[in-house]
Amino acid sequence: MSGRVYAKYIICCFMSLMVFGGMIDASANSPNSAEAFIKLLSGNLRFNSGLSTHTNISAKRRKEVTTGGQHPFATIIACSDSRVPVEILFDQGVGDLFVIKVAGNVCNTDEIGSIEYGVDHLGTPVLVVLGHTNCGACTAVATGADVHGSIPDLIAPIRPALEKVKAAHPKLQDKALVSALIEANVWQAIEDLFLRSSSTRERVKMGWVNVIGAVYNIETGTVKWMGTHPEEESFLTRLEKELREQ
């Protein structure tokens, strides 16, 4: 490890800590949320800088999580794309992350149930919805590609995000449209999760879990942290009111 690379890593860590406050909402469980988020931040910085430590991959670690059970510090829903190796890009090992992978990182029944297991049953204080650049599912939706079998139903949850992007930016086309959709789809997945998961809403309300959006760049290896949903509080308040009135 060269001195220059190490210095770059330290600077990146410092800058990440400076913006940390904008990524995690203050909560009753904020120390745990903060620690988990910093682990993800620093792990990706190590990976991106070529300084991965490859911890927790030994036989001893496998025995620990077998006899002691799993205690991941974060739940992550990501795309099935083979270029998005979640544990690797966050420099984590066996038992560190509870990972759900599905094409387009959509939140439908199976994914929401899996998320609830991670944040509710396992009690992870952070949930990351992780999109990625060059997403095939988002590209298919943005371009109106002819897909077959069960794929149309699989990517259907992405379509509302496309409608929102087109309404807000009617002139976007091609790569710019796909890029905007990838980020919008992260927010859409979070909205779908909140809409259908009362337990997740309650844990967010109580400050027991922070839900964060992010996009992984498959070329650079860098995670772009988008933070919490920009309308999280108003969305949850409006949703709870609508549910009470039903």
pLDDT digits (tens, 9 = 90+) for 109-153: 999 999 999 999 999 999 999 999 999 999 999 999 999 999 999
pLDDT > 70 fraction of the chain, expressed in percent and rounded: 87
In order of their start, the domains of the chain are 3-245 (3.40.1050.10)
End-to-end Cα, the chain, rounded Å? 60
pLDDT higher than 60, residue 23: no
pLDDT higher than 60, residue 96: yes
Confidence of residue 241 (pLDDT cuts 50, 70, 90): confident
Give me the pLDDT at residue 20, please.
Answer: 47
Averaged over 230-239, what is the pLDDT?
91
Give me the pLDDT at residue 90, please.
Answer: 98
What's the pLDDT tens digit per position in 181-198? Answer: 999 999 999 999 999 999
Vertex 217, ends 213 and 220: CA angle to 5°?
Answer: 140
Range in 21-25, 205-209, 210-214 with the lowest mean pLDDT: 21-25
Give me the pLDDT at residue 222, please.
Answer: 97
Give me the pLDDT at residue 31, please.
Answer: 47
Which residue, among 168, 106, 109, 166, has the nearest Cα to 137 in the 3D structure?
106
Give me the pLDDT at residue 159, please.
Answer: 98
C-alpha to C-alpha distance for 75 and 87, rounded to whole angstroms: 11
Counts for the chain of helices (H) and strands (E), in that order: 11, 5
Residue with the larger pLDDT of the pair 238 and 6: 238
Query: Is the pTM above the cut of 0.75?
Result: yes
Judge residue 245's burial from the number of C-beta atoms within 10 Å of its C-beta, 0-12 exposed, 13-18 middle, 19 or more buried: exposed
Confidence of residue 245 (pLDDT cuts 50, 70, 90): confident
Give me the pLDDT at residue 40, please.
Answer: 96
Average pLDDT over the chain, rounded to an integer? 90
Averaged over 76-86, what is the pLDDT?
98
User: Got the DSSP string for 166-225?
Assistant: HHH-TT--HHHHHHHHHHHHHHHHHHHHHHH-HHHHHHHHHTS-EEEEEEE-TTT--EEE
